[in-house]
């Protein structure tokens, strides 16, 4: 019986069945390089993985909203998204707002997120948070119990 189960599992892996049901959980992700997140989420989208936002998803982490289909994203009661303008370091080592990267970042977000940001003054050096009822009005709620965890 174990042999048969092993053969069936192997066939499922070879046919790709299971790959479309993979889930990645985002929690306590403070962001980082925009390029890194674009590449990471493009790979998740290509692999047809779903995303559970179950805590902080800040800065470049929020690119997930523009890369993964909204039907493949769910949020928990702990989900908290943090948005701000893109920044970089100048020649003197000081951080500055990178206007072109900020425009690119903004353009990646779906329309409801852009509208929400616009009502708060857009992407600026000030961080704004999307959570609770407002977030749950944009993305479906998910139950964590049956979902495996794959943290960054």
Does the structure show a pLDDT above 80 at 9?
no
* Average pLDDT estimate for 135-149: 76
Q: How do residues 81-140 score in pLDDT, each as one tens digit?
A: 999 999 887 788 887 678 999 999 999 999 999 999 999 999 999 999 999 999 999 999
In angstroms, how far is CA 134 from the centroid of its own chain?
A: 17
Predicted confidence band of residue 22 (pLDDT cuts 50, 70, 90): confident
Report whether 49 contacts 74 (CB < 8 A).
Answer: no
Does the structure show a pLDDT above 90 at 15?
no
């Amino acid at each position: 019986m174990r042999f048969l189960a092993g053969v069936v599992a192997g066939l499922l892996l070879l046919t790709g069945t299971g790959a479309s049901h993979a889930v990645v959980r985002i929690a306590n992700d403070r962001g980082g390089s925009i390029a890194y997140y674009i590449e990471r989420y493009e790979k998740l989208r290509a692999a047809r993985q779903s995303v559970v936002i179950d805590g902080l998803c800040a800065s470049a982490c929020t690119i997930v909203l523009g890369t993964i289909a909204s039907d493949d994203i769910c949020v928990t009661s702990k989900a908290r998204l943090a948005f701000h303008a893109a920044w970089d370091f100048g020649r003197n080592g000081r951080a500055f707002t990178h206007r072109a990267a900020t425009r690119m970042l903004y353009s990646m977000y779906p329309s409801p997120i852009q509208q929400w940001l616009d009502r708060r003054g857009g992407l600026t050096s000030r961080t704004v948070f999307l959570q609770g009822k407002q977030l749950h009005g944009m993305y479906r709620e998910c139950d964590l119990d049956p979902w495996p965890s794959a943290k960054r």
